[in-house]
């Protein structure tokens, strides 16, 4: 007799998250790519480039996918 195995597939998505700093203080945290582009663009034109900086992190999200029968 054979037993059917239930295989749960995993979907791994990698997204970038961004933090924006001004004079060493974090102003924006956990921004996604599109939020970062908008906010960084506006801040960069409004302030001197040396005053602002950012950090980018790669975030992995693992989602368990139920098997479909």
Do 12 and 58 touch, CB atoms closer than 8 A?
no
- Threshold 0.85, pTM exceeds: no
- Report which of residues 43 and 65 the model is more confident about: 43
Q: Which of 51, 54, 49 is nearest to 36 (CA)?
A: 54
* Mean pLDDT of all residues belonging to the chain: 83
The confidence band for 4, taking pLDDT boundaries of 50, 70 and 90, is low
Do 20 and 31 touch, CB atoms closer than 8 A?
yes
Q: From the CB of residue 31, how many other CB atoms can be counted at a distance below 10 Å?
A: 19
- Report which of residues 8 and 47 the model is more confident about: 47
pLDDT at 47: 75
pLDDT in tens, 48-66: 677 899 999 998 877 776 7
Tokens 């005053």 correspond to 51
């Amino acid at each position: 007799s054979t037993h059917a195995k239930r295989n749960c597939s995993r979907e791994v998505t990698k997204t970038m998250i961004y933090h924006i700093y001004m004079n060493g203080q974090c102003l924006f945290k956990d921004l996604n790519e599109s939020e970062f582009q908008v906010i960084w663009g506006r801040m960069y034109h409004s302030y001197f480039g040396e005053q602002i900086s950012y950090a980018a992190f790669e975030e992995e999200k693992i989602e368990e996918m139920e098997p479909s029968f």
